Structure 1
Amino acid sequence: MADALLIIDMQNGLYDGPEKPFERERVLATLNHLIGRARAAGAPIFVARHTGPAGSPIEAGSPLWQLCPALQVDESRDHLFNKTRPSCFLGTELEQRLRAAQVKELVIAGMKTQFCIDTTCRVAVELGFSVVLPEDGHSCMDTPALKAKAIIEHHNATLAGAFVKLTSAVEIRF
């Protein structure tokens, strides 16, 4: 059973920007389902926002930086934090907060598969956390080289075993 949930970069500028993430409505519904189950079990929920420098489209406080309004985050009880790199750990207090909450196993979900999801999964394992990755709980956009579906499938296959326990979101328990 997982001890905590980490949702990464579900922000207006990524979710609702000019390039739409693969199966975005389904992924959002999956994340909200995970949030509901974590909350019902009393598991802490951590929510990362990627923050750009002043003047960038995703600078702190800007409309594109805001969390997607349909994401069922409760700012009064969930742990929101800002990051500036693909790793949710670099330059943040996430590791300390997870350790203070005695988290050993962490569910990681959100966006973007090939950047922040991949990096955060690998770093979490290096820091000694067990990671559960819902194969259907992360997304990204098409790139010139690969379609989003192929990127997601590739990262699920690459991360499984060596870095994460790969499973479907409906099988995750808190």
Structure 2
Amino acid sequence: MYALLILDIQVGLVHGPEKLWRCEELLNTLMDKARSAGAPIFLARHIGPAGSPIEPGSPRTMVAQELKLLGGEVVFEKRRPNAFEMTDLADNLRSCGATGVVVTGMKTQYCVDSTCRAARDLGFDAVLIAESHTCSDTPVMKAENIVAHHNATLDGQFCQLVRAEEWSF
């Protein structure tokens, strides 16, 4: 069984100063697919140190209202790009019978990348939905190119790359 993992779709990033490159509607579609199949849904919220804009308790760390939460989702805090590092994610996945994780969310070059790589190292089948992760432009590369680069780099060695319409839980 696969669980859905949504990374850092939170107020401070979705509504922050950097413009994101698409994906909100795809995350809700994946959540609907996971719910219909009875697959667990995990949402990570990135928390920064005290005094930072995303310090513990900051409204910027709350799940963005664009995601349709219906209850039953597991929302957890992480402090590192890798969602498994210093969290109970791996134990929680195993305890609900998940052998794989479908990774979505943001930011592609940080948390999505490091979580895909870590999932395989921890014995989980990792699936990356090609069009369900995002980031913003950087001074050296457009977000669309960052996503395309990571899709090509991660596919095969670190995860299975799948288009949303081809995936079912």
TM-score, normalising length from structure 2? 0.97
The reply on whether 1:126 has 2:121 as its aligned counterpart is yes
Instruction: Give the distance between the partners of 1:131 and 1:94, measured in 2 at CA.
Output: 14
Instruction: Give the distance between the partners of 2:165 and 2:57, measured in 1 at CA.
Output: 33
Instruction: Give the distance between the partners of 1:150 and 1:144, measured in 2 at CA.
Output: 12
Partner residue of 2:64 out of 57, 68, 79: 68
Q: What's the CA shift for 1:60? A: 2.2
1:14–1:20 CA contact under 8 A, matched in 2: no
The runs of 5 or more residues in structure 2 that have no matched partner are none
Partner residue of 2:150 out of 146, 155, 167: 155
1:110–1:139 CA contact under 8 A, matched in 2: yes
Structure 1: which 4+ aligned runs deviate by more than 2 Å?
Answer: none
Number of equivalences = 169
Counterpart of 1:166? 161
Counterpart of 1:33? 29
Matched residue SS, 2:51:
coil
The reply on whether 1:10 has 2:9 as its aligned counterpart is yes
Matched residue SS, 2:131:
coil
Deviates further, 101-110 or 115-124:
101-110
Q: How does 1:91-110 map to 2 (within 5 A)?
A: 91-110=86-105
Q: How does 1:75-94 map to 2 (within 5 A)?
A: 76-94=71-89
Instruction: Give the distance between the partners of 1:21 and 1:151, measured in 2 at CA.
Output: 12
- Structure 1 counterpart of 2:140, which letter? A
Identical aligned residues as a percent: 50
Instruction: Give the distance between the partners of 2:140 and 2:99, measured in 1 at CA.
Output: 36
